[in-house]
Structure 1
């Protein structure tokens, strides 16, 4: 427990209530838990809302129950360590990031309120870094309870991290709203480094790309790229080039797309960053596939796959699925079967990988020319799942495949159903990848 025998009056009177509220929420205590045997809940509520100030005796008892002191210390060293940890989360050095979290978690108990609040904010970013959406959600809910006592800088980080969380839920419209709030707060504060502004611009570019607003995505991504290039941040520059390549591909600017990817490839090679290299090869594969250069696409997808040995199973299955599609275009059933068997060996029945389980099942039917059974399974299982997950591309691809089959069999009612389904999905988007 942090000692409370110093003079509590040193804490700013109008801040005392906010600080008590913050630590109470941090300790997962209700007002009744904190007030019990010391003061009434209504009186504690007034204190937390800064409507009244507690006596030194009451404050001492409340602090003892919370296990904190409201005597503010100079914690610039710890705050600098927090900022360093936050910046490190933009890299892929997971071992160091986790190590820093464990160290900070041990030392943070004895710091002042402001520093502790930054720890809570950056802890949210850490949970997002781990892609732990459940803990991220709980942290957001906790932060929302004392959102009113965050200053401009803290609010900026909260809105930015909330945007990342919302993006991870595929709610891109909601993510943009939080990013816009963060941008307004960033413009009100001049203390942020240019790298912070660049990272926000990159997030804008990423999110606008997902909403098919390609021109504005290119604008924001180019702004981010200029800042990262000026500071010789090669990794972030490469990420921007990849995003620009995706944007140019989506509007049919294939030459500019390839140029961006190749620039990103040079940067990733100089960094020896296999994660980026795998990502670039994968996107080059998609670019060549869109141009019906299937043999070139296969080369890139294979290079991407073999760089993913240490990556997630989902990432490897994605490469395998793309390879199956390319060999299917070439009507090479032997290679389709080879990669399908590889995927089947890797996959398990976890819910998270159901998408690829369905993709592989579809190709099992296609390779055996069993369109009648595919029709049944597509309507009963695959289509409802794709619609629920808002996976438009497989609906379009396989609806067209089924429509062509039934048309060739003179089953025009079935063919009409699938052509209509394909058309309705095409209306929802302007690109397929």
Structure 2
């Protein structure tokens, strides 16, 4: 415990002058040096100063131990993704937050608070905390500096700046001489690689993270990592492994009562079945996902769009039109241009194929290319146009879109 800073804090809080506090204990210059941590005081002097301030040294030492235990507990609960328990520990730390600056955990607490705000998705508050920490950076230990850079990479990831985040992760990995990192670090690395559509790297780091989490019996993070692996196996056309991942998550999400994961699992299973050309199975999983989604948001929109597309390929025209009309309306309300354009494309396609493909070529594809959209999505629509032009014996136009695919 930093007793000098603590004495100064309570002295000023209680309106006591240095002369009043020091009287009969030590000189005023001596007290001033103690308060500014420029002079070490003996234990007897500290005890007398604390006693005059009506503070027990034993209590302060107990508080230091309490801070240490709570911060360790806080870190563990975030690592194990225990949402309710995280909030409980955070509130306990907030109650004694005024004491933390006087302990050796001042920077660690600031860093874990940053991590907590990222965990809660409070990006504006997290950015403010990042700025506060940056001002203290020169006082960080080597481990604290590592944590700051790591959490900054996570911050950039959630802001969609995947390349910048990936660069930080690569640097941290290299600086640690490629030694085994913890599960959280490996999981976030895999997540960034997945977002950059580098599925091979995402699978590599995901498998390493999974092994770490299995060794720790970190069951919730195991589910998250299996989800990530399932998505990247799907993107890599490794269908058997992807299906095994999703089936495993479905079983265990129910056992662990992590039912909020089920809509996402069913959606990803639907996408896998679509890629495997199992359209009826794909529709089944997409519809299960939609039923379980509590809020009408962009996730709901994506699933509804997928249902409309599957119905189109199955020849269920009326159901498809109904879905795309709802997608179009929701996309306008939510301000999601991509799905407004895509739903409009399908609605025009079912009304007039010529108009539909013209709309796809003139509106949808340029927008997706400009937005640097998912390569998988672009490939899907390039192939649709290529197939259309081949049917019309317009070989040069068809080859143009096949070349875009390759």
TM-score by length of 2: 0.74
Q: Is the 8 A contact 1:268 1:277 kept in 2?
A: yes
- Residues 1:164 and 2:158 aligned together: no
Match of 2:292 in 1: 307
| Structure 1 segment 123-272 matched on structure 2, within 5 A | 123-183=113-173, 197-272=182-257
Which of 73, 77, 83 pairs up with 1:84? Answer: 73
Mapped to 1, the partners of 2:225 and 2:142 lie a distance apart of: 28
Match of 1:379 in 2: 362
Shift of 1:381: 7.2
Match of 1:110 in 2: 99
Match of 2:313 in 1: 329
Match of 1:298 in 2: 283
Mapped to 2, the partners of 1:77 and 1:312 lie a distance apart of: 43
Distance change >3 Å, CA 134–CA 369, structure 1 → 2 = farther
Match of 1:21 in 2: none
Match of 2:337 in 1: 354
Match of 1:28 in 2: none
Mapped to 2, the partners of 1:12 and 1:207 lie a distance apart of: 43
Distance change >3 Å, CA 222–CA 396, structure 1 → 2 = closer
SS of the residue corresponding to residue 108 of structure 1 reads coil
Structure 2: gaps of 5 or more residues: 1-7, 12-17, 22-30, 40-59
Q: Is the 8 A contact 1:204 1:217 kept in 2?
A: yes
Distance change >3 Å, CA 235–CA 187, structure 1 → 2 = farther
Mapped to 2, the partners of 1:11 and 1:420 lie a distance apart of: 73
Which of 309, 317, 320 pairs up with 2:301? Answer: 317
Spell out, residue by residue over 1:33-65, the C-alpha distance to the aligned partner (whole angstroms, 9 max, x if none).
xxxxxxxxxxxxxxxxxxxxxxxxxxxxxxxxx
Mapped to 1, the partners of 2:236 and 2:223 lie a distance apart of: 20
Match of 2:384 in 1: 401
Which of 265, 274, 291 pairs up with 1:289? Answer: 274
Q: CA RMSD in A?
A: 3.6
Shift of 1:166: 1.7
Structure 1: gaps of 5 or more residues: 15-71, 428-433
- Residues 1:3 and 2:10 aligned together: yes
Spell out, residue by residue over 1:368-389, the C-alpha distance to the aligned partner (whole angstroms, 9 max, x if none).
2264376358635772365225
Match of 1:75 in 2: 64
SS of the residue corresponding to residue 10 of structure 2 reads coil
Match of 1:63 in 2: none
Shift of 1:198: 1.0
Shift of 1:77: 1.8
Q: Is the 8 A contact 2:348 2:356 kept in 1?
A: yes
Shift of 1:90: 5.4
SS of the residue corresponding to residue 390 of structure 1 reads coil
Distance change >3 Å, CA 399–CA 343, structure 1 → 2 = same
Shift of 1:359: 2.6
Q: Is the 8 A contact 2:345 2:356 kept in 1?
A: no
Spell out, residue by residue over 1:229-253, the C-alpha distance to the aligned partner (whole angstroms, 9 max, x if none).
2222221111222222223222222
Shift of 1:291: 1.0
Mapped to 2, the partners of 1:279 and 1:333 lie a distance apart of: 26
Mapped to 1, the partners of 2:368 and 2:244 lie a distance apart of: 37
SS of the residue corresponding to residue 184 of structure 2 reads helix
Q: How many aligned positions are there?
A: 360
SS of the residue corresponding to residue 182 of structure 2 reads helix
